[in-house]
Amino acid sequence: MNRPIASGAGRAFLPPDAPARPAKEFVVAVIGNPNTGKTTLFNALTGLTQHTGNYPGVTVESALGEFRVGQHRFHAVDLPGSYSLAPRAPDEMVAVRVLLGRGIGIVKPDVVLCVLDASHLDRNLYLLTQVLELGLPVVVALTMMDLAQRDGIVIDTDAIEQKLGVPVVAVHSTRRTGFDRLRQMLLRAAQERRAPRRHVGFPPGFDREVDSLQQLFPQNGQSPVPRFLVERLLADAGGFVEDELSQEHGESVRAAAVAARARLASAGTPVPQVEVDARYRWIGGVVDDHVRRSQRTDVSWTDRIDAVVTHKLWGTVVFLVAMAVTFQAIFAWAAPVMDLIDGAVQQVATWIGALMSEGPLRSMVLDGVIGGAGAVLVFVPQIAVLFALITVLEDSGYMARAAFLMDRIMSGFGLSGRSFIPLLSSFACAVPGIMSARAIENRRDRLVTILIAPLMSCSARLPVYVLFISAFVPAYAVGGVIGLQGLTLFGLYMIGLIVAPLVALVLKRTALRGPAVPFLLELPPYKIPSWRVVFFRMYDRSWAFIRRAGTIILATAILIWALSYYPRSADLTAKYETLKAQAPAAEVSRLEAEEAGEQLRGSYLGQMGQAVEPIVKPLGWDWKIGMAAIASFPAREVVIAALGTIYNLGSGESETSSELRDVMRAQRWPDGRPVYTPAVALSVMVFFALCCQCAATLATMKRETGSWRYPAITFVYMTTLAYVAAFVVYQLGSRMFGA
Amino acid sequence: MSTERTLADLAPSEQGRIRTVVGTDGLTQRLWELGFTPGQRVDVVRFAPLGDPIQVRVRGFDVALRRNEARRILLESEEA
């Protein structure tokens, strides 16, 4: 048999003294302008190893991944999209920190992969000129070559490679071309560790000022300040580097920088112009020599789409339709999969119920684990659909247009269109929403956006809405077209959209008052979204949800189960045993339910619940809803697990555990009135729409703002708002519906 | 003579040539970095439905900015 010898097996035949090259590990940082196809490239490079996590030493989450070149392993980090390395926003500072390896525990990359959009080469080269000055080996990936070609741009890649002095590889992420060479070049660059040569020269006056500012910093202290940062200190008036170095080395640093800038200005070379002029002059030379441009005459697709999408009338229609389709899809597309999961969970419950004998353990598994945490799993498909749609909106380029359309309205509340993207992402989850606020340069604007982001109806609220709507809102179509259920859902989403601007307005008038904030946003060409990127986001976020279901939700569900199972009253059990023995067969199940109800009332949870009932009574809730709401402060979707557990235990018939919504419909007050009237259901939903029941959100806020002050403010204002709104809704609703 | 002509004075589908960008703060720096540099041609593509912000094109890509910011971008007085 003629079998090819695998490389690993082949090595065994080498003479023992042959130097086997040891496999090494390298770190590669990927950087580029926004909208260059960087994420798609990162995805193609790292494949299924990609995940979101923390780069060593950096507290903010980024996309991480791995790939192999031969026997060597590369760890890759996808840095935030940046137009330049002059940090003005926190996410740009993250990029600079990682590239310079500055900060405790931050691993300096072995090589930088700079992604350049070939169809906008001049602007992209601006970032590259700065990256080339970091002293790290650099490899350039050229993306969007097909777009450039279509625009009549012809690039002499070899000549540009010569000129830059670093490898330049044209890649196509969906067709996967150029990746072999890209990986080889990354390996070679990481092994040779040669710093690229510097191309852009500044006027001598600028260099002299940098030299003298450098004297302010100890040359061999714990963290020597590299020349790159000193240049940034000089060039970026009021920038992040100025703030940071002044904090570390005293305010004299700021004073020296201000004085140096004044000298440069009077010499006719003011910052920031002097730096930008020098870079673009050099770029102009490269582009003039090696890029040919023929004037295109036809109107591009992007222009044609924009003519509709940003039109006064049609643009508004498209915007509303896009939002409506998103919400409709969440209900319609996810439903079949949800039914499947629900069926599977029920099936597992039946099997396990048949296998185990009566007792606390069986009760915990059925009522706590399956009835609680299992009930949450049903909502995974909706989370997946929501994240997929938001990623499509973002990746296609529509999100930027939505920000363009909304800016005027947002400016009425003291915000800018920039805040629109974090706020819209918060509809998926406030955690990535708050993190994406990093891209907002203005601090006050960023804080307001972070403080109102949790008001957007996140995907964790969706299960709560879906449960209550499907249980208590009739599937009736208004005028035969628009479903009342969908309409209610839309209304709940609108609550956040109405309240958030009002809160922003109050904040902008009081605690975070300041001058109007500028708005500047690139409108990238439209493109077909990368399905790999969409799939990855969907998969990543759904897994995060399932992990939560397996940890925090499971733990809370078991805790609630224990609180509502113990203490068991032996007297009660004995009493009902005798009653059941005497009663006719038809009466037994009624007696069992009665017994379960009494046991639950006597449990720790029941005792606590009755203590809090006076607080939740004005909202129309009974103590069971009250306890479920309180239990869900760590994570709001816990409420489903909590209700599931409480009602399962309270029904005494978990072996035929029927669907939660049927159980809820059957709930009665002691006097026989149904617990859930439409007014009560609305009051619960409104409470959940406005309340800040999410420990992860509060923790993220603390991390992003650097203090507990803002999460504390958020928690207090949202909880108060939620209580007051639920109160008003119930009091008005119960009078309107007459119950 | 007349007051300075700025990017905010242009109507949709008009264009001009950049003379300079005024200011020293972060926004001015960002405009420079994006390529709003002296001598560059800049086109106003359209206004947003509510009249502000405006969509402009420089170096082959589109940027949305408010009129207030567009006022920092001074244009050469006469088309050569």
Reported ipTM: 0.94
In a domain, B44, yes or no: yes
Q: Which residue matches tokens 């005798």?
A: A578
Which residues 165-224 in chain A show a CB within 8 A of chain B? none
Interface residue A312 vs chain B (CB under 8 A): yes
Check whether A68 has a pLDDT greater than 80: yes
Do residue A52 and residue A158 come from a single domain?
A: yes
| Contact B61/A at CB under 8 A | yes
- C-alpha A259/C-alpha A255 separation (Å) is 6
- pLDDT score, position B80: 45
Split into its structural domains, chain B has a count of: 1
The residue of chain A with its CA nearest to that of B45 is A303
More confident residue, A655 or A277: A277
Q: What does A588-655 look like in DSSP terms, one character per residue?
A: HHHHHHHHHHHHHHHSHHHHHHHHHHHHHGGGT--HHHHHHHHHTSSBTTHHHHHHHHHHHHHHT-GG
- Predicted confidence band at A364 (pLDDT cuts at 50, 70, 90)? confident
**Strand bridging mode A111-117 / A138-143:** parallel
Cα nearest neighbour of A518 on chain B: B69
In sign, the C-alpha dihedral spanning A215, A220, A223, A226 is: positive
Query: Who among B24, B35, B55 is closest to A523 (CB)?
Result: B55
Question: Residue A518 and residue B27: Cβ atoms within 8 Å?
Answer: yes
CB contact under 8 A, A404 and B55: yes
Question: A424 versus A18: which is more confidently predicted?
Answer: A424
Flag if B31 and A520 touch (Cβ within 8 Å).
Answer: yes
For residue A608, CA distances in Å to A256, A385, A727 come to 63, 38, 21
> How much is the average pLDDT of A33-44?
91
Residues of A in Cβ contact (< 8 Å) with B37: 276-277, 280
Banded model confidence at residue A660, pLDDT cuts 50, 70, 90: confident
Cβ distance of B50 and A408 shorter than 8 Å = yes
Is A315 in the B-facing interface, judged by CB distances under 8 Å? yes
The burial class, CB within 10 Å (0-12 / 13-18 / 19+), for A451 is buried
Chain A's closest residue to B72, CA to CA, is A518
Domain limits at B51? 7-75
**C-alpha to C-alpha distance for B46 and A523, rounded to whole angstroms:** 12
Per-residue pLDDT band for A257 (boundaries 50, 70, 90) equals very high
Q: Is B39 on the interface with A (CB under 8 A)?
A: no
Return the minimum-mean-pLDDT range out of A156-160, A264-268, A413-417: A413-417
Q: Do A88 and B30 touch (CB under 8 A)?
A: yes
**B-interface mutation test, from A261, A408, A527, most B Cβ less than 10 A away:** A408
pLDDT (tens digit per residue) in A465-521: 988 988 888 877 766 666 788 888 888 988 988 899 899 999 888 877 777 677 888
pLDDT at A154 over 70: yes
A50 and A184, same structural domain? yes
Query: Across the interface, do A236 and B62 touch by the CB < 8 Å criterion?
Result: no
Residues of B in contact with A312 (CB under 8 A): 49
pLDDT attached to residue A17: 47
Give the nearest chain A residue to B20 (CA atoms): A273
Q: Residue B2: inside a domain, yes or no?
A: no
Q: Which of B25, B29, B41, B59 to mutate to test the interface with A (most CBs of A within 10 A)?
A: B29
Looking at chain A, which residue has its C-alpha nearest residue B54?
A: A404
Among A546, A632, A553, smallest CA distance to A369 is for A553
Kindly state whether residues A186 and A254 are assigned to the same domain: no
Copy the structure tokens of residue A623. Answer: 């103590």
Query: For residues A456 and A423, is the Cβ–Cβ distance under 8 A?
Result: yes
Q: Could you tell me if A188 and A240 lie in one domain?
A: no
Quick one: closest CA in A to B31, which residue? A520
Q: Which of B32, B52, B65 sits opposite A273 (nearest CB)?
A: B32
Query: Between B52, B59, B61, which is nearest A408 by CB?
Result: B52
* Cα A58 to Cα A29: distance, rounded to the nearest angstrom: 13
Among A167, A192, A217, give the residue marking a domain's end: A192
A contact test, residue of B7, B21, B33 with most A CBs within 10 A: B33
CB contact set of A662 (below 8 Å; sequence gap of 6+): A471
The pLDDT of residue A706 is above 60: yes
Cβ neighbours of A521 in B, within 8 Å: 63-65
Query: Are residues A99 and A29 both part of a single domain?
Result: yes
Would B37 be classed as within a structural domain?
Answer: yes
Residue A179's pLDDT band (cuts 50, 70, 90): very high
3-state secondary structure of A60: coil
Give ∠ CA A248-A253-A257 in degrees, rounded to 5: 140
Residue A331: its pLDDT value, please?
61
Give the residue on B whose Cα is nearest the Cα of A516: B68
Give the pLDDT band (50/70/90) at residue A2: very low
| CA–CA separation, A526 and A395 (whole Å) | 9
Dihedral sign (CA A243, A249, A255, A261)? negative
Asked if pLDDT for residue A338 goes beyond 80, the answer is: no
Q: Which positions in chain B touch A231 (Cβ < 8 Å)? A: none
Residues A162, A49: one domain? yes
Q: Is the CB of A407 less than 8 angstroms away from the CB of B53? A: yes
Q: Which chain A residue has the Cα nearest residue B60? A: A120
Q: Mean pLDDT of all residues in chain A? A: 84
Which residues in chain B (5-34) have CB-CB distances under 8 A to chain A? 20, 24-34
Instruction: Write out the DSSP string of A161-203.
Output: HHHHTS-EEE-BTTTTBSHHHHHHHHHHHHHH-PPPPP-PPPP
A170 and A36: one domain? Answer: yes
Cβ contact (<8 Å) for B63 and A310?
Answer: no
Question: Based on the domain organization, do A169 and A262 belong to the same domain?
Answer: no
B59: domain CATH number is 2.30.30.90
Band (pLDDT 50/70/90 cuts) for residue A585 is confident
Q: What is the pLDDT of residue A330?
A: 65
pLDDT class of A264 with cuts at 50, 70, 90 = very high
Rounded CA-CA distance B34/B53 in Å is 18
A395 found inside a domain: no
In a domain, B48, yes or no: yes
- CB within 8 Å: A520 and B25: no
Residues of B in contact with A122 (CB under 8 A): 35, 59
Dihedral pair phi/psi, residue A632, rounded to 5°: -95, 15
Q: Check whether residue A51 and residue A174 sit in a common domain.
A: yes
Residues A184, A242: one domain?
A: no
Write down the pLDDT at residue A5: 37
Q: Looking at the complex, does the CB of residue A239 fall below 8 Å from at least one CB of chain B? A: yes
Does the beta carbon of A408 lie under 8 angstroms from any beta carbon of chain B? Answer: yes
What is the pLDDT confidence band of residue A738, given thresholds at 50, 70 and 90?
low
Judging contacts by C-beta atoms under 8 Å, the chain A residues touching residue B71 are none
Which domain, by its residues, includes A222? 204-268
What is the full DSSP assignment across A110-172? SEEEEEEEGGGHHHHHHHHHHHTTSSS-EEEEEE-HHHHHHTTEEE-HHHHHHHHTS-EEE-B
**Whether residue A78 is found in the same domain as residue A164:** yes
Considering the domain architecture, whether residues A209 and A120 belong to the same structural domain is answered as: no
Task: Look up the CATH number of the domain holding residue A29.
Answer: 3.40.50.300
- Contact between chains at B24 and A271 (C-beta distance less than 8 A): yes
Residues of A within 8 A of B66 (CB-CB) are 407, 411, 518-519
Higher pLDDT, A479 or A711: A711
Check residue A480 and give its pLDDT. Answer: 63
Report yes or no: A464 at the B interface, CB cutoff 8 Å.
Answer: no
The verdict on residue A216 lying in a domain is yes
**End-of-domain residue from the set A166, A192, A218:** A192
Mutation choice for B interface testing from A36, A123, A126, A399 by most B CBs within 10 A:
A123
Task: Tell me which residue in B20, B33, B49 faces A84 most closely, judged by beta carbons.
Answer: B33
CB proximity A150 to B under 8 Å: no
Q: Which tops the pLDDT comparison, A168 or B24?
A: A168
pLDDT, one tens digit per residue, over A104-145 is 788 899 999 999 999 999 999 999 999 999 999 999 999 999
Q: Does the beta carbon of B53 lie under 8 angstroms from any beta carbon of chain A?
A: yes
Nearest Cα of chain B lies from the Cα of A414 at a distance, in angstroms, of 14
Which residues in chain B land under pLDDT 70? 1-2, 78-80
pLDDT at A486: 81
The A residues from 565 to 604 touching B (CB cutoff 8 Å) are none
Whether the model clears a pTM of 0.95, i.e. scores above it, the answer is no
As a whole number of angstroms, the distance between CA A68 and CA A66 comes to 7
Count structural domains, chain A.
Answer: 2
Three-state SS annotation for A363-379: HHHHHHHHHHHHHHHCC
- Residue B26 domain flag: yes
- Among A114-118, A396-400, A447-451, the minimum mean pLDDT is found in A396-400
**B47 within some domain:** yes
* Paired strand residues for A520: B65
pLDDT for the residue A163: 93
Give the end of a domain, one of A171, A192, A213. A192
Residue A569: CB atoms within 10 Å: 13
Q: What is the pLDDT of residues A597-634, one digit of tens each?
A: 777 778 888 888 888 889 999 999 988 898 888 878 77
Residue that is written with structure tokens 């999410």 in the block: A694
Q: Which of A83, A516, A524 sits opposite B34 (nearest CB)?
A: A83
